[in-house]
Amino acid sequence: MLMQPEHSTMKSWCILVSLGLVCFLHDALSCPTLCRCYPRRPEVVCNMAPLTEYPSEGLPENTTQLTIMFTNITSISEKHLNATPLLRGLHLYVNQLQNLSSHLLRGVPLLHTLELTENKLSHLPLHVFKHAPLRSLVLKNNLLQKADADWISKDSNLTWLDLSGNLLTKIPTTLLQKLPRLENLDLSDNRLEKISANSLDSVTKLERLNLQNNKLDAVDASVFQNMHNLTYLFLTRNKLDKLPQNLFQGLAKLEHLSLEDNQLTHIPPGLLDPLDSLENDGLDLSANPFLCDENLQYLWRWLQKNKKKVFLPETVTCAKPQSLAGRSVLSLTETELNAQS
């Protein structure tokens, strides 16, 4: 009599295992048309152009990674994502997405990576990225003119935000104020015209900042003052013609700085002195129209002492005066510089 309950319990356990195995096999065999399913990961990849609607039907419920790319899907809703409640990574590259529903991520509470590179998104609804503990959000190469703070919840977990390749004209300050953990910010290939004071004050943990290929012609002297963890700073291909003398004060951890292809004619005395952590080849000053006169002596002396830290130092050349045009700054003598006073 004492053995019967134990036997009954074991029988029930075996049935549950069998049911679980049946469910697993059912998920393994289930896969939407035009997609490939990898049950062991568990991952689904859909990359067929004829796909025009989100493939909710047939998605294995235990899917944790979903990639949809090179399709003609134009919209995704909260209802679609409810089919995969265990989703951790959603990668939506090179589709035709124009619309995302509000509260899109409510049914995927474990999602930490969302990539929406190269779609047709011009506007996103409020609360679109709330409800999931996102750590990485990529909105690269879309048509966004504004980045709204109401996309995400306060005190977000985001450490990686990529807004490159859009139509932004301003740094999204109110959005950044909700990102205290942000480590990587990419705003390259937009239409930013200036970096205002305090616009980056909230992202004190930032390690990489990419502002290259914008229309920046001015940078406030205090803009980087709270970014003590910054190691990479890219300002390539802008319209900067001068830099504040104390711009890099406090950037003791900076290892790579790119100022290539701007409109710099001089480097103010002391500008580069705080950058003790620059690695070899860590500074790029090429493709600037330097005026090689007595006011360039600070840069000339710094280059003499820190040649190894400069990427292709021979490409730091004079644009004017005509007598020195094309000469490497390093090749000049102090007498030649003083002669151009």
One digit per residue, pLDDT tens: the chain, 341 residues? 444 443 333 333 333 434 444 344 444 468 998 999 999 989 999 999 999 999 998 999 999 999 999 999 999 999 999 999 999 999 999 999 999 999 999 999 999 999 999 999 999 999 999 999 999 999 999 999 999 999 999 889 999 999 999 999 999 999 999 999 999 999 999 999 989 899 999 999 999 999 999 999 999 999 999 999 999 999 999 999 999 999 999 899 999 999 999 999 999 999 999 999 999 999 999 999 999 999 999 999 999 999 999 999 999 999 999 999 999 999 999 888 888 76
Q: What is the pLDDT of residue 29?
A: 61
- What gap in Å lies between CA 67 and CA 51, rounded to an integer? 13
Range(s) of the domain holding residue 111: 31-134
Kindly state whether residue 7 falls inside one of the protein's structural domains: no
- What gap in Å lies between CA 279 and CA 267, rounded to an integer? 20
Kindly state whether residue 92 falls inside one of the protein's structural domains: yes
- What gap in Å lies between CA 190 and CA 215, rounded to an integer? 8
- Could you tell me which of 265, 94, 228 has the C-alpha nearest to residue 165? 94
What pTM does this model have? Answer: 0.89
Residue 14 burial by Cβ neighbours in a 10 Å radius (0-12, 13-18, 19+)? exposed
- What gap in Å lies between CA 332 and CA 321, rounded to an integer? 13
Q: What is the pLDDT of residue 23?
A: 40
Kindly state whether residue 37 falls inside one of the protein's structural domains: yes
- What gap in Å lies between CA 182 and CA 202, rounded to an integer? 9
How many Cα atoms sit within 13 Å of 64 on the Cβ side?
Answer: 7
- What gap in Å lies between CA 47 and CA 69, rounded to an integer? 5
Kindly state whether residue 66 falls inside one of the protein's structural domains: yes
Query: Can you tell me which residue has the tokens 């980056």?
Result: 200
DSSP state of 53: S
Kindly state whether residue 43 falls inside one of the protein's structural domains: yes
- What gap in Å lies between CA 283 and CA 252, rounded to an integer? 14
Kindly state whether residue 125 falls inside one of the protein's structural domains: yes
- What gap in Å lies between CA 197 and CA 203, rounded to an integer? 13
User: Is the distance from CB of 227 to CB of 206 less than 8 angstroms?
Assistant: yes
Q: How many domains does the chain have?
A: 1
Cβ neighbours of 306 (radius 10 Å): 16
Can you read off the two tokens belonging to residue 177?
């104020």
CA 118 to chain centre: 14
Residue 297 burial by Cβ neighbours in a 10 Å radius (0-12, 13-18, 19+)? middle
User: Is the distance from CB of 178 to CB of 153 less than 8 angstroms?
Assistant: yes
Q: What is the pLDDT of residue 252?
A: 93
Rg value, the chain, Cα: 27
β partners of residue 256: 232
Kindly state whether residue 199 falls inside one of the protein's structural domains: no
Kindly state whether residue 102 falls inside one of the protein's structural domains: yes
Q: What is the CATH number of the domain that holds 107?
A: 3.80.10.10
- What gap in Å lies between CA 196 and CA 179, rounded to an integer? 18
